[in-house]
């Protein structure tokens, strides 16, 4: 009877060990599943980040083109401004000369 009780106790211990191993396996499987979900989310997030980075790079190229175009326009406007200043000076000299001619004509006609 002691042998039967010992065999029953051993079987009972083995059953408890089997249940605890199954419980640990279940926990590990659940943990791995959670880790796989987290990894998938991270990969998707990385994919989205790469997409956003690509869009930012395209936007930067467009902005760079706009800046270069603006810089070219500013150079052209500076040249036009210089020409307008020369023309203004020439007009101002002509006005002064015509004023002098007017005075000379008035002096001659007296």
CA 101 to chain centre: 67
pLDDT of residue 80: 98
- What's the half-sphere exposure (Cβ side, CA atoms, 13 Å) at 92? 6
pLDDT of residue 99: 84
Q: What is the mean pLDDT of each run of 10 residues along the chain (110 residues)?
A: 54 68 85 88 83 90 94 97 97 90 84
pTM above threshold 0.75 = no
pLDDT of residue 10: 62
Q: Which two tokens stand for residue 46?
A: 């990385």
């Amino acid at each position: 009877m002691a042998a039967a009780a010992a065999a029953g106790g051993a079987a009972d211990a083995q059953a408890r060990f089997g249940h605890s191993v199954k419980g640990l396996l279940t926990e590990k499987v659940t943990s791995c599943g959670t880790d796989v979900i987290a990894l998938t989310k991270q990969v998707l997030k990385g994919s989205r980040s790469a997409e956003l980075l690509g869009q930012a790079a395209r936007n930067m190229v467009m902005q760079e083109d706009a800046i270069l175009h603006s810089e070219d326009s500013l150079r052209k406007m500076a040249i036009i401004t210089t020409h307008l200043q020369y023309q203004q000076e020439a007009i101002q000299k002509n006005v002064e000369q015509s004023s002098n001619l007017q005075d000379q004509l008035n002096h001659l006609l007296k």
